[in-house]
Structure 1
Amino acid sequence: MFPSPYPDELFYSLMARFHFWSRGKSCSNTIGELLGNQRLSAIVDFPCGLGALSARLTKSPLLQADAFIQNNTLIPFYQPFLSSKTVSAAIDKMKVGGNQGGGVHSLFGYSGSNLNLFPSHLRYCRECVEQDLMNYGETYWHRIHQINLLEECPQHHRPLELSSVPFRDRQHKYQFVDLNDLVHSLGMEHAPCDITAKRLWNTKLLSSNIQFLLEHHIPPIGLEGLRKRYVTLLQAAGYTTLTGKVNISLLSQDFITSFGQEFLSSLNCLPSPQNENNWLNLFARRLDSTINPMRHLLMMNFLNISASDFIADISNRHPFGNGPWPCLNVAADHFRKDVVHTVNIKTHPKEKDTLIGTFACECGFVYTRYGPEQNNPDHERYTYHYVKQYGEVWENKLKHMLEIEKKSQREVAKRFRVSWITVKKYSAHLAVNKRSFQGALKNTNYLKQMEYRNQWTNVQQEHPQKGKTELSQLYPRPFCWLKKYDKEWLNKNSPSLIKAKRYKPAPIDWKGRDEALLPMCQHAIQQLLSLDKPVRITMNSIGETIKVVYMLTRYRLKLPKTMSFIHPLLESHEDFQIRRIRIAAMALRERGEHLIAWKLRGAAHIDKVAVTDRVNKEIERMIKDYINSRGSLK
């Protein structure tokens, strides 16, 4: 009878326990009995043949193929960050066996990755082993312990230890090893915890995020959904502009400081601030390829967001909270009510990580607020940094309180929550203060008025090229007096404003650029083809060689000659594999070795699972030509 899975147990562990209790002759026989094909490998993370197994078992919900995939494999750790099409294809591969199954890593795009996706050997926690033996009478391989990002058990906070069982065992690929067989050799003394403080950046958040992904079976978010979420988070953290351009240098420095260079290097996730293809930059670009979940979790940990909050659609969050927004006009009946439906957002001219939002209400009250909201959104929503316009409702209320209610300016200032100087300034523009202005003007010495007017007129004649601001700096006394007591005359008798000429960049000569780029690209392709280590001919690799990736990827339509030369030479994955196979064949023949399919694939560093029919045909053709050439020599 097939055992019921324990909480967070690997399917690999289930097969190992069944093989032990069934007293099977060999693991191959057990695989053939359960999965219908003895040649299926014992894969830890993405096993195959689950459909055949569920057909042989009872109809228990926990023993169905979909339940095995979601509860006992590492698919839930990957699927939120992949497309729906990719996840469906992977699940189909895991349900079938034989030649149609397998290749999930290649499907995810991780087969050629240099990232340390999994530990070298299966891992365990000593306290979990003790607890399992106490609760179930046996222990098992825990799924979460095999996530390479974790260094300690999330439950007991003890360091995870490597067993003697390889995660990828190519010599014994049909063998399932039961953890119970290793228990007696482990010893139950606790090893001292050697995790340094340097590695304890925020392991609690990381552990909880990994547990959330494994337990909640999150469906695929989609590549565009992921990009929108990261753009929102990076903007809130001050690492991007409003257009989504990433300050990659600052982001890389803070990222390395947060995790430590040693830890990131151990995972092959160390970003390069000087490289424009820095992998951190991918999070804000339009994603056309998958990013490893390890990097997703590191980025979430860096941005201090939980997986549950990240899965929620945060991309619709507004930097100033979702609208409508409140009107903060104290004089209006709708004070603090959400009646403002639009906001104008721009970047602060000096602080690029700060946004300025301008809120305009129908009552005429216009205020600005700095964002994005971070510390206390509920409080920040009802505050402003600057009032650009108080509006007619506010001014009418001010006039009513001063003239009808006979309130003092200081009382009005307290009621309106502004300074006394603001009330005095705005009352000067209203009828209530015109009489006091005229009285002040009558009381002013008429001779002083004429003296300052003459001085201001003479100043303009002496300096005809200077503007109003420059003249006010040369002769501040007459300017300040006239501005205060005779402003209308000053405005009429001052130099008119001279608008600064805006810089207009010269139009780009795209035809000239196209002709200049063509020989550069020709030389770059020749250089790439002559490298000892083959590099795939792509638009990015050509652009990286001559440092024009942005131009080749964003302005293709404006470079017709260059594109007409490059496009026929671009290599697909199959083309690149075929070129590597040919190079490998030449190398083998120079060394006097026979051409064999597995030797060609090994010399070209191509996994057998990733080889397509077209590449296989090319390999067969080369071997056939080699055999014919040897026959002709004889």
Structure 2
Amino acid sequence: MVNLLTFFTDPYPDELIYSAISRFHFYSGNTSFVETLEELFQSRSLVPSIEFGSHFSTLVQNLGSNYSVESLLAQNTVYPYFAPFITIERQKKLLEDVSTNGQGIHGRLGISGGKISRKQGLFYCSKCANNDINIFGEPYVHREHQLQGIDYCPHHELTLKMYPIDYREFSRNGYIRFDRRQMDLSELQEIESYEFKEVQVKLAKMAYRLLQIPINQFSIEKVFKKYRTLLRENNWLMTNTRLKREELFKAFISKFPQGFLEKYESLVTVNGQNQWLQIMVTNYLRNSVHPFRHLLLLYFFDEDIDSFLEIKEDDGPFGRGPWPCLNKAAKHYKDLVISDVEIKARDKVLIGKFSCSCGFEYTRVGPDKSEDDKWSKSRITAYGKVWEEKFEKLVSLDVSREKMALELDVSLKTIYNRIASKETSPELTEKYRAELLEWREKFPNANRKQFQTELKKTFTYLYNHDRGWLDAKFPSKRDTLHTPKNPDITLKNNTENRIEYYRSLLLDAIKECPDVTRTQLSRKFQRAYKYLSETDKEWFDANLPRKRQATTITNATDWELRDQEYYQKIKEVYPELMALEKPVRITGTLFSKRLNIFNLSVKSYVEKLPQTNKLLNEISETVQEFQIRRCCKVIDRMLEEDNAVRFERLRESCAVETKYFKKIKPYLEEYISKKQKKT
């Protein structure tokens, strides 16, 4: 039978229910804690819990309609500190735990395996205690001062002090009430207490803010998706799921003062396995992670609780599907008809490939920064039948190239190239056949892929208009991989061809640059060098440069003479590179390839050549400088042809992404203004 109490010491703001019960015991006049337990919980053997409590269903029945299990849990325990970092299922079960005997609480919250030590006593802030005495006439136990891992008061930024009475020695069934006579109410702080203060105060403020959030508003499922958003925005994800683990861990460790993570039992090592940080951001269902460590991650991301709550949950690097078809020739243009995206990583950059049933395929570099990115594409990888039919129709109608580019949503250069690829004649065929045969004679061991790379225009023409002759003279790789009647002979022939080709690569490099070293050859021709060193050792040792001692090289090299030689070569070839119809970015690597000087792209090597180094520094281009030069070249042509510049058409012609084009646009506008003034 439940008996309503005639009075109860209603909890003060942020007071633990444990503290309110201790005051009830004091004011009720009960001489034994067992009597108090009987009145509140109808049990004489209940063991008090400082942080959480138990048997709340019985307690609220005795207290009356002003209380509920949920309100006590949310307002008068430390549970809101943990709630956002456990699953929805555990949240429901924990409500059942506190309603009854509370035996499963610590396991569900991950406290038992969390490795963050529980506070061995009751804590208070001197200034808070003085304020409580002035306002309420007595001090009480604030829940924000009992949070594990938190050593500072979030309100006054003072270190917390431990109440001198140890609850572990006080009484098994007892409740400790703060007595002002037992407390150090001085607000002076020891100098030693200021170690790590800046970090700890921020963590304390975040922890207190957690106590104000409704306990059902968030769960680890939602928090994890927000973490993914932060990881993606900060470029810590390599693919949709794979983490840049080493880089992330190094950055995380460097964020905190030395010794901080060790002191607060949250050490992270770069090479360690199954660490709490990895669990938090990759597999939250594996184990519960202590809320203090979640605060450390938020601190690392420079987030507070309010800003974190505003973060959008991650839907993947390219948002939530479906995605639009960006085939402007199709009736379903910009309709959300693509249900899947294929995600790959290239040079640590995410690439999303979107394929429509009409055959149109495009890619986009991710992750998306805004919802508007869904309507953009980086590159078209396949046009499809619908697009091709529209292209053929526009060509037959003799529509202008510019209008075709607009109607098909491609660059003007693409239109010119596709029209050129359709043009054929016996004269052109003979011309391109001769180019291939000449190139083949010069490089007899080269493969079809190299031909396609070196003579792209020639290859494209022959592939489209003379494929039978091309395949006969230069079989594709897949043709040579068909299983023959006598595989042993074919395997032998393929091996011999491979050896001959690799030999020719190294010999040509040695011929063009006699002073090349083995190290330089191994870097430039990695596969050939390794293969010949393992399978053709006798030829390898006989024909490659001898291994040189470092001292011999240093003493034998006339750096001044080499500096003058390289300087002159670069100075001669530079105007040719700048005059190329198709601009190329001027870099040390470019000169290295053009002049067959292997080390011009190696900074430590070039620094030994002062004239060469100075010249390279003067003429080498950043990516932005090259984009500006390339755009200016197109601007000159536009002004000459139309006496006007359309920036969107300019951007497409120069293949500059929108976000980078915005940065260089002011320079282009200034260039256009100067050009127009001259005319």
* TM interval, short-chain normalised: 0.5 to 0.7
- 2:72 is matched by which residue type in structure 1? F
Distance 2:459 2:212 in 1: 75
Distance 2:364 2:197 in 1: 39
Checking the alignment, whether the CA contact within 8 Å between 2:353 and 2:364 is kept in structure 1 is: yes
Is 1:8 aligned to 2:41, yes or no? no
CA offsets, 1:112-138, max 9 Å, x none?
654224x34433345544554565455
Aligned equivalent of 1:257? 254
Aligned equivalent of 2:367? 372
Query: 52, 56, 59: which one pairs with 2:62?
Result: 56
Aligned equivalent of 1:181? 180
Distance 1:304 1:364 in 2: 44
Is 1:388 aligned to 2:368, yes or no? no
Aligned equivalent of 1:522? none
Checking the alignment, whether the CA contact within 8 Å between 1:369 and 1:384 is kept in structure 2 is: yes
Distance 1:316 1:112 in 2: 28
Correspondence 1:64-75 to 2 at 5 A? 64-75=68-79
Aligned equivalent of 1:467? 447
Distance 1:189 1:463 in 2: 84
Please report how far the alpha carbon of residue 45 of structure 1 lies from its aligned counterpart in structure 2 after TM superposition: 0.6
Distance 1:35 1:456 in 2: 95
Correspondence 1:482-501 to 2 at 5 A? 488-489=465-466, 491-499=470-478
Distance 1:396 1:410 in 2: 18
Aligned equivalent of 2:292? 294
Distance 1:426 1:167, change over 3 A: farther
Aligned equivalent of 1:327? 325
Checking the alignment, whether the CA contact within 8 Å between 1:79 and 1:220 is kept in structure 2 is: yes
> What SS does the aligned partner of 1:322 have?
coil
Please report how far the alpha carbon of residue 167 of structure 1 lies from its aligned counterpart in structure 2 after TM superposition: 7.3
Please report how far the alpha carbon of residue 256 of structure 1 lies from its aligned counterpart in structure 2 after TM superposition: 1.6
CA offsets, 1:130-189, max 9 Å, x none?
5545654554322223223445444x3623422325675334455434346259740467
Checking the alignment, whether the CA contact within 8 Å between 2:341 and 2:353 is kept in structure 1 is: yes
Is 1:34 aligned to 2:40, yes or no? yes
Aligned equivalent of 1:570? none
Distance 1:84 1:14 in 2: 29
Correspondence 1:589-604 to 2 at 5 A? none
Unmatched 5+ stretches in structure 1: 503-634
Name the % identity: 26
Distance 1:203 1:288, change over 3 A: same
Distance 1:242 1:296, change over 3 A: same
Distance 1:461 1:272, change over 3 A: closer
Distance 2:439 2:16 in 1: 89
- 2:376 is matched by which residue type in structure 1? T
Correspondence 1:256-295 to 2 at 5 A? 256-283=253-280, 284-285=282-283, 287-295=285-293
Checking the alignment, whether the CA contact within 8 Å between 2:152 and 2:201 is kept in structure 1 is: no
Would you say how many aligned residue pairs link Structure 1 and Structure 2?
A: 472
Aligned equivalent of 1:163? 162
Distance 1:88 1:387, change over 3 A: closer
Distance 1:122 1:424, change over 3 A: same
- Greater shift in the superposed pair: 456-465 or 489-498: 456-465
- 1:181 is matched by which residue type in structure 2? R
Checking the alignment, whether the CA contact within 8 Å between 1:201 and 1:259 is kept in structure 2 is: no
Correspondence 1:70-81 to 2 at 5 A? 70-81=74-85
Query: 411, 423, 426: which one pairs with 1:419?
Result: 411
Please report how far the alpha carbon of residue 37 of structure 1 lies from its aligned counterpart in structure 2 after TM superposition: 4.4
- 2:476 is matched by which residue type in structure 1? L
- Greater shift in the superposed pair: 253-262 or 31-40: 31-40
TM-score (norm 1): 0.60
Please report how far the alpha carbon of residue 25 of structure 1 lies from its aligned counterpart in structure 2 after TM superposition: 3.4
How large is the Cα RMSD of the aligned pairs? 4.6
Distance 2:436 2:108 in 1: 80
Checking the alignment, whether the CA contact within 8 Å between 2:41 and 2:55 is kept in structure 1 is: yes
Aligned equivalent of 1:566? none
Query: 209, 212, 218: which one pairs with 1:211?
Result: 209
Aligned equivalent of 1:602? none
Distance 1:212 1:33, change over 3 A: same
Checking the alignment, whether the CA contact within 8 Å between 2:127 and 2:156 is kept in structure 1 is: no
Is 1:357 aligned to 2:352, yes or no? yes
> What SS does the aligned partner of 1:298 have?
helix
- Greater shift in the superposed pair: 126-135 or 361-370: 126-135
Please report how far the alpha carbon of residue 368 of structure 1 lies from its aligned counterpart in structure 2 after TM superposition: 0.4
- Greater shift in the superposed pair: 69-78 or 492-501: 492-501
Distance 1:287 1:453, change over 3 A: closer
Distance 1:113 1:334 in 2: 54
Distance 1:188 1:109, change over 3 A: closer
Distance 1:95 1:455 in 2: 86
Please report how far the alpha carbon of residue 425 of structure 1 lies from its aligned counterpart in structure 2 after TM superposition: 1.0
Please report how far the alpha carbon of residue 406 of structure 1 lies from its aligned counterpart in structure 2 after TM superposition: 4.2
Please report how far the alpha carbon of residue 328 of structure 1 lies from its aligned counterpart in structure 2 after TM superposition: 2.8
Distance 2:145 2:289 in 1: 22
Checking the alignment, whether the CA contact within 8 Å between 1:152 and 1:160 is kept in structure 2 is: yes
Please report how far the alpha carbon of residue 17 of structure 1 lies from its aligned counterpart in structure 2 after TM superposition: 2.4
Distance 1:328 1:192, change over 3 A: farther
Please report how far the alpha carbon of residue 245 of structure 1 lies from its aligned counterpart in structure 2 after TM superposition: 5.1
Distance 1:295 1:167, change over 3 A: farther
Please report how far the alpha carbon of residue 385 of structure 1 lies from its aligned counterpart in structure 2 after TM superposition: 1.4
- 1:498 is matched by which residue type in structure 2? K
Please report how far the alpha carbon of residue 377 of structure 1 lies from its aligned counterpart in structure 2 after TM superposition: 1.4
Query: 18, 24, 27: which one pairs with 1:21?
Result: 27
Distance 1:347 1:482 in 2: 28
Checking the alignment, whether the CA contact within 8 Å between 1:150 and 1:207 is kept in structure 2 is: no
> What SS does the aligned partner of 1:355 have?
strand
- 1:421 is matched by which residue type in structure 2? K
Correspondence 1:180-259 to 2 at 5 A? 181=180, 185-187=184-186, 199-200=198-199, 203=202, 207-208=205-206, 211-212=209-210, 215-218=213-216, 221=219, 238-239=235-236, 242=239, 244=241, 246-259=243-256
- Greater shift in the superposed pair: 26-35 or 263-272: 26-35
Distance 1:190 1:315 in 2: 42
Please report how far the alpha carbon of residue 11 of structure 1 lies from its aligned counterpart in structure 2 after TM superposition: 0.8
> What SS does the aligned partner of 1:216 have?
coil
Please report how far the alpha carbon of residue 320 of structure 1 lies from its aligned counterpart in structure 2 after TM superposition: 0.7
Correspondence 1:534-573 to 2 at 5 A? none
Unmatched 5+ stretches in structure 2: 1-6, 483-679
Checking the alignment, whether the CA contact within 8 Å between 2:84 and 2:223 is kept in structure 1 is: no
Please report how far the alpha carbon of residue 298 of structure 1 lies from its aligned counterpart in structure 2 after TM superposition: 3.3
Checking the alignment, whether the CA contact within 8 Å between 2:52 and 2:98 is kept in structure 1 is: yes
Correspondence 1:595-634 to 2 at 5 A? none
> What SS does the aligned partner of 1:343 have?
coil
Please report how far the alpha carbon of residue 14 of structure 1 lies from its aligned counterpart in structure 2 after TM superposition: 0.5
> What SS does the aligned partner of 1:169 have?
helix
Distance 1:37 1:261, change over 3 A: farther
> What SS does the aligned partner of 1:159 have?
coil
Distance 1:328 1:401 in 2: 19
Checking the alignment, whether the CA contact within 8 Å between 1:468 and 1:497 is kept in structure 2 is: yes
